[in-house]
Amino acid sequence: MRKLQMVDLKSQYDKIKDQVNASIQEVLDTTTYINGPLVHQFQADLESYLGVKHVIPCANGTDALQIAMMGLGLQPGDEVITADFTFAATVEVIALLQLTPVLVDVDMNNMNISLEGIRKAITPKTRAIVPVHLFGRVANMDAIMEIANEYNLFVIEDNAQAIGATYTSKDGSKKKVGTIGHVGATSFFPSKNLGCYGDGGAIFTNDDALAHTIRGIVNHGMYVRYHHDVVGVNSRLDSIQAGVLKAKLPHLDTYNKARQDAARKYSLALGLNANIWVPTICEACDCHVFHQYVIRILNGKRDGLLDHLQVKGIPCAIYYPIPLHSQKAYADTRYKEEDFPVTNQLVKEVIALPMHTELDDEQIKFITDAILEYVN
């Protein structure tokens, strides 16, 4: 059996080596390391793939979120609502900009931000909602956009884990995730669904004025060379990373299919066990692209299972072990434990299994057999 890994980037690279190497060689041969033609080509390719008017590449996903919030003109003291159960980057940039993070609980069925939680958290100071499409599963964007319209709020989609996923609205229309809110932010961290070989990120929007503002912010607040109109940042996707991404983008749908296939096999093997909650695979749509395959162990044996799998040489991880409201950096007397029953339960039950584009049947069987033999 091939070695088990949480993410197998080497086997994936081996299959696209020629395309990736040619892209990188092009940058080296032309010495266009910064803002080279490949950056613009990748930007245009991604705009057409997503069906969005503007993609603004930047240095990483955390920057993408921060710059999106700067672009919207959010001011210190403005309240920004986001999920308690997510990677810390989402809340980190809110705090960094001296906005007020307002954490709300998530839903048990999809682990995404709770609509009821959003409604309860809205105050006259609320300016924005940041839904996170956690683990690759699309949040309920129809309802989130409705709430946003009702209260005149911005929606910033944290799409770091769901690039390539499609959202189908109630009216049947389909949109790529990250292009539904006012602005979307993504990450090209190597292990993400579309990963480069270093750091990278991008911001998406259909709003021409916002795109213009953001293009200045990523470049030191310059709209005309050496005229700094606003305080900006230096956040670029370098040409080598753009070259890697340009070579990988045509494979993204195949990669996401491979993730969905692996998820289907996991869920088929584990789903009949009453002590294991598995994510559902929606056959008719691409609403879940399985950045992570996360199950819940319902009989209190999660931590034991972690040890059991470790002994068997099966890598696994806990995303995320501590709710954000319990983190030292983000704790606040405003938060009460009873406001986060779902997150508080999830952190004790979740376990992420190996998930990537190169999993084979033998590996999946070995992993699911080991889980079933312990959890029973």
Ligand X SMILES: *Cc1c(COP(=O)(O)O)cnc(C)c1O
Query: Degrees (nearest 5) of the Cα angle 109, 261, 313?
Result: 85
Number of chain residues interacting with ligand X (CB under 6 A)? 15
In whole angstroms, how close is the CB of 192 to ligand X at the nearest point? 6
Q: Which is nearer to ligand X, 89 or 177 (CB)?
A: 89
Q: Helices marked H in 139-251 — which ranges?
A: 141-151, 208-217, 239-248
**Of 131 and 232, which CB lies nearer to ligand X in the complex structure?**
131
Residue 57 or 201: the one with the smaller Cβ distance to ligand X is 201
Strand partners, 128: 80, 154
Contact residue for ligand X among 12, 23, 82, 86 (CB under 6 A): 86
Give me the least distance between CB of 185 and ligand X, in Å please. Answer: 7
Q: Residue 36 is encoded by which pair of tokens?
A: 């080279």
Burial of residue 114 (CB within 10 Å: 0-12, 13-18, 19+) is: buried
Q: What is the largest CA-CA distance in the chain?
A: 66
Closer residue to ligand X (CB): 103 or 375: 103
Whichever of 195 and 371 has its CB closer to ligand X, that residue is: 195
Binding of residue 90 to ligand X (CB under 6 A): yes
Amino acid at 26: E
Q: Is 158 in the site for ligand X (CB under 6 A)?
A: yes
The token pair at 126 is: 């609320």
Select 187 or 213, whichever has its Cβ closest to ligand X.
187
Q: DSSP class of residue 272?
A: T
The per-residue DSSP string of 320-365 comes to: -SS-GGGSTTT--TT--GGG-HHHHHHHHHEEEEP-STT--HHHHH
C-alpha–C-alpha distance, residues 266 and 270, integer Å = 6
Contact 163, 189 (CB under 8 A): no
Residue type, 210: L
Binding mask 188-227 for ligand X (x = CB under 6 A): -x---------x-x--------------------------
Q: Is 157 in the site for ligand X (CB under 6 A)?
A: no
Residues 97-136, mask of contacts with ligand X (x by CB under 6 A): -----------------------------------x----
One symbol per residue from 35 to 74: x for binding ligand X (CB under 6 A), - otherwise; what is it?
-------------------------xxx------------
**Minimum distance from CB of 346 to ligand X (Å)?**
15
Distance separating alpha carbons of residues 347 and 320, to the nearest angstrom: 6
Cβ nearer to ligand X, comparing 198 with 315: 198
Decide: is 89 part of the binding site for ligand X (CB under 6 A).
yes
Residues lying near ligand X in the complex (CB under 6 A) are found at 60-62, 86-87, 89-90, 132, 158, 160-161, 187, 189, 199, 201
